[in-house]
Amino acid sequence: MTTDWTVRAIMRAGLPILLTLTLVEIGSGLVLGSFEASLLRYPTLLVLVPVTIGTAGNLGSILAARLSTVFHLGLLSFEPDDELLVGNALATVALALTLFPVVGAGAWGLQAVVGGNRLSLGTIVLVAFTSGAVLSVLAVVVTLMTTYAAYRFGLDPDDVVVPVVTNVCDVLGVLVLVGVVTVLV
């Protein structure tokens, strides 16, 4: 980073991307808002919102950070048989498939303690698991596309890929959760 350590310089370096990402997040908020009635009727679904958004964003950002590092080391080829690419992508899906059932069970358990559930444990775990499976595949696709774009345009993936991937995965988190709930609940 070559930004000066003055308040004005630091603010100016961050604001354009910050306000752009805020607009994108308002878009996902509008989707969430259109779904408000269901969320208020079934509080367990509301419990799932931050954890689904956060985990989706983190899955993407962890993969992006790892790919950026191997990219900087000159080890990444964008070939479908690249071991580092395929191995990291598989790990992302495996992390989602093992963590999201825990997320569902945790949300149901905590809500049972504080206020009670109107949906069964099985439904919530199924919603979380399905959302996680879909999101992990989307996170891999988005991260690969963004990393590849950064590579093609000669941008430093650390500056661009992580914030873009995290926020796109945030938005996808809301869309996928709303979509899965619409189908399953």
Partner 1 sequence: MTVREVAVEAYREGLPALGASVVGGLLAGVVLGGMRGEFRAVPGLLVLVPALLATRGNVYGSLGARIATALHQGLIEPRVRTGDDRLQRAVAAAIANGLLASTFAAVVAFLVLTLIGSGPAPIATLVAIALLAGLLSGIALSLTVVLVVFAGYRRGYNPDTLVGPIVTTAGDVFGVAFLLLAVRVVLRLGGT
Residue type, 152: R
Q: Does 15 bind partner 1 (CB under 8 A)?
A: yes
The whole-angstrom separation of Cα 97 and Cα 154 is 34
The whole-angstrom separation of Cα 13 and Cα 16 is 7
Q: Does 6 bind partner 1 (CB under 8 A)?
A: yes
Which one, 159 or 184, has the nearer CB to partner 1? 159
User: DSSP secondary-structure letter at 118?
Assistant: S
Which one, 44 or 130, has the nearer CB to partner 1? 44
Which one, 29 or 122, has the nearer CB to partner 1? 29
Q: Does 39 bind partner 1 (CB under 8 A)?
A: yes
Which one, 8 or 152, has the nearer CB to partner 1? 8
Helix (H, G, I), strand (E, B) or coil at 1: coil
Q: Does 28 bind partner 1 (CB under 8 A)?
A: yes
The whole-angstrom separation of Cα 134 and Cα 51 is 15
The whole-angstrom separation of Cα 91 and Cα 73 is 20
The encoded tokens of residue 17 equal 């991307």
Task: Specify whether the CB–CB gap between 184 and 123 falls below 8 A.
Answer: yes
Q: Does 146 bind partner 1 (CB under 8 A)?
A: no
- Binding segment toward partner 1, per CB under 8 A, in 82-90, 133-141, 142-150, 176-184: 82-90
- Out of 71, 167, 172, 178, which residue is the one contacting partner 1 (CB under 8 A)? 167
The contacts of residue 135 (CB under 8 Å, 6+ apart) are 52, 55, 56, 59, 96, 169, 172, 173, 176
Angle, helices 83-114/43-72, rounded to nearest 10 degrees: 160
Q: Does 125 bind partner 1 (CB under 8 A)?
A: no
Which residues lie near partner 1 (CB under 8 A)?
1, 5-8, 10-11, 14-15, 17-19, 21-23, 25-26, 28-30, 32-33, 36, 39-40, 43-44, 46-55, 57-59, 61-62, 65-66, 83-84, 86-88, 90-92, 94-95, 99, 102-103, 106-107, 110-111, 114-115, 163, 166-167, 170-171, 174
